[in-house]
Structure 1
Amino acid sequence: MSDTPKDLAGLRQRIDQLDSDIMRLISERAECARSVAETKTKDDPQAVFYRPEREAQVLRRIMALNDGPLDSEEMARLFREIMSACLALEQPVKVAYLGPEGTFTQQAALKHFGESAISLPMAAIDEVFREVEAGAVNYGVVPVENSTEGVINHTLDSFMDSSMRICGEVVLRIHHHLLVSDNTRRDKVSRIYSHPQSFAQCRKWLDAHYPQAERVPVSSNAEAARLVKTEWHSAAIAGDMAAKLYGLTRVAEKIEDRPDNSTRFLIIGNQDVPMSGDDKTSIVVAMRNEPGALHDLLEPFHRHQIDLTRLETRPSRSGVWNYVFFIDFKGHREESRVAAVLEEVQMRAAELKVLGSFPIGVL
């Protein structure tokens, strides 16, 4: 027992030394990143500093090298923040997201770009597209599908009218909490605010615990959290970021009906992304209304052994064709077999639009 203080003192001294080493190495990395920026600017004044494929490669390498005790995803998140801070020295990334502040989409944006990114809330998905297309921001983040409730049709429809490319993806585990304010009388809750998708994802829990409460749909979970601050008889369903932003208290945690509830978000931008080594491609295809159209569309993927990861059908907005297909598959458009498939699909389809090839989400 007498050696314990001496042992602790030695361990703390070692931690202090390691902290100093870590700080020195991070500073070295930041200086190196600044040199990269100067070299890029010298060669091209309009150089792009954020490279999605390079970031994905770095994070994959970190996860492969990690031997613990921190798990690989936690280690990758630490490096994400280091990379985000270093990039901010070169040129902070401006990111538009579906707002208001405190939404899961903002959480996804910060998960993908790091806390040093400048995140700007937009009122609607099409506004995110417009901001990116106008060059007011570098990238946009929009939700595309939920594991429980399926695709977000507004996002798919926006791609049909836009020239934006998909530059990346991020999957976020969605945990819903029942939140109240300091003024709420918890035994008198008669109204619950939330986004319609959240109500759908928590339906069974609400039926069991608040069957009589009025369920009021609003534009976002963050808006639900804001409304609760002004009422004594209401609660909100929202996530951690909204709870922290509006100073709300959790009455019940993780009330989603499915424990694996997650939402996939897309990163949109103005430029194509080179191969990273583990990529995905998204396309939208309009087919003629004739027997065997779907078979003709999918047959080349089967023959070239390309793995489809998503297939969605949407009614055509132009009225010229009856339906269009949104397809995600593994591989990059610059790969020879993917290029061969796209060429065949182009010949068979009424219209083909490549939405982008991008790194498969690392985190």
Structure 2
Amino acid sequence: MEKLKELRKKIEEIDDVIVSLIKKRVDLALLISQEKKRGNMSIFDVNRENEVLSRIKNIAVEYGLLDDYIEDIFLLIISMTRNIQGVLKVAYLGPEGTFSEIAVIKRFGYDVERLPVDSIPEVFKEVSKGKADIGVVPIENSYGGTVTQTLDGFIDSHLKIIGELYLKVHHSLLSNAEDISKITKIYSHPQALSQCREWIRNNLPNAKLIETSSTSEASLLVSNDPEAASIGNEILSNKYNLKILHANVEDDPNNTTRFWVIGDMDVKMTGNDRTTILCYIKDRPGALFDLIKPFKDFGVNMTKIESRPSRLKLWDYLFFIDFEGHIEDSKIKELIKEIEKNSSFVKIVGSYPRGMILE
């Protein structure tokens, strides 16, 4: 037991050092905030935060530590020190308690000013008007597919993608019912219902499914109905005083939503980047083949392609393309030049660090 006490004492001494070093970091952040104010600079420096996280992850690997865990720790530290410099305003698809809000909290911390809005186009508007520093919007789900409203937002917007993140989506069955057998109605957002359809079929086959505008609205509606349940994240159980009748009711345990962080700034190359472009091509035989062939010729991995109506005329389409690499890279610059030869126009929607997975 003496040996155990001795080891614990050493851990406490290390903890003391860690806290004292965090205090020193906070003091330096305060000095940095003063310099930023003198230079009329934004409190949010996406390039600096990317540099810090990339460097820390490399150091973690050198020490044989799990870099994702160390990254999570430093996201909290960065959030705390950023808040000393000023409050970061982040717009997202509301209402409160949605997975979009969880993504904001996990990436930027609790200390940011969270601005929930009613639609994805409104997220773009809040950032464009300067009411929010940045926005967070869903772009695709591993189960439900692409969120087309987000793609459409970039057609006429000057905003760019400045980051991405992946959030593991876990749904729970929430209710004030005594047990699951009492449930006759299930409320939720259509996408959440679709992601849990097999579980519902196997466990509550006779329950009536009622679609709502959000999982948060669904939880509010069932809070006073002992025969109703909602499907949503666990945070909603606290917000609306509901019991978790069953956790992890999603059909796919790897269910993940990809989010884009949007803003009005350029992001430097990190060496582990993704680029998104928007292309318009004329309707002719072989046009799409000519558009994507340069990716093979230049050895660049295209990770996604999605078409959207151009809004110029019927059956006319734009193409969003994701691929590995950064616009500052010489090979990517040459690739873009080749794509431009086969396109009426090409718009760089953003080059940004490849996303982290947030549990």
8 Å Cα contact 1:191/1:233 also seen in 2: yes
Secondary structure of 1:66's counterpart equals helix
Identity over aligned residues, as a percent? 38
114-123 or 130-139, larger mean C-alpha shift:
114-123
1:112 corresponds to 2:107 = yes
Other-structure match for 2:12: 16
8 Å Cα contact 2:310/2:318 also seen in 1: yes
Tell me the distance in 2 between the aligned counterparts of 1:286 and 1:13.
65
1:201/1:351 Cα in 2 relative to 1: closer, same or farther (>3 Å)?
same
State the Cα distance separating 1:99 from its structure 2 match.
Answer: 0.5
Secondary structure of 2:356's counterpart equals coil
Q: Could you list the runs of 5+ residues in structure 1 that have no partner in the other structure?
A: none
State the Cα distance separating 1:185 from its structure 2 match.
Answer: 6.1
Residue by residue over 1:78-119, the C-alpha shift from the partner in whole angstroms, topping out at 9 and shown as x without a partner, is 110001110111122110110111100011111221222221
Residue by residue over 1:99-146, the C-alpha shift from the partner in whole angstroms, topping out at 9 and shown as x without a partner, is 111100011111221222221111111111100000001000010000
1:99 corresponds to 2:90 = no
- What are the within-5 Å matches in structure 2 for residues 161-310 of structure 1? 161-181=156-176, 186-310=180-304
Secondary structure of 1:160's counterpart equals coil
Letter in 2 for 1:13: K
Letter in 2 for 1:120: L
TM-score where L is the length of structure 1: 0.93
8 Å Cα contact 1:184/1:234 also seen in 2: no
From 132, 139, 144, give the equivalent of 2:139: 144
State the Cα distance separating 1:167 from its structure 2 match.
Answer: 0.6
Letter in 2 for 1:362: M
The alignment covers a number of residue pairs equal to 356
Q: Could you list the runs of 5+ residues in structure 2 that have no partner in the other structure?
A: none
Letter in 1 for 2:15: D
Tell me the distance in 2 between the aligned counterparts of 1:48 and 1:38.
12
1:60/1:300 Cα in 2 relative to 1: closer, same or farther (>3 Å)?
same
1:50 corresponds to 2:44 = yes
From 78, 81, 84, give the equivalent of 2:79: 84
TM-score where L is the length of structure 2: 0.94
Tell me the distance in 2 between the aligned counterparts of 1:131 and 1:116.
19
8 Å Cα contact 2:234/2:244 also seen in 1: no
State the Cα distance separating 1:186 from its structure 2 match.
Answer: 4.0
Residue by residue over 1:158-205, the C-alpha shift from the partner in whole angstroms, topping out at 9 and shown as x without a partner, is 111222111100100011111112x56643211101110111111111
8 Å Cα contact 2:120/2:149 also seen in 1: yes
Residue by residue over 1:4-61, the C-alpha shift from the partner in whole angstroms, topping out at 9 and shown as x without a partner, is 2x4454344333322221111001111222222333333x22x123222332232233
Letter in 1 for 2:22: I
Other-structure match for 2:130: 135
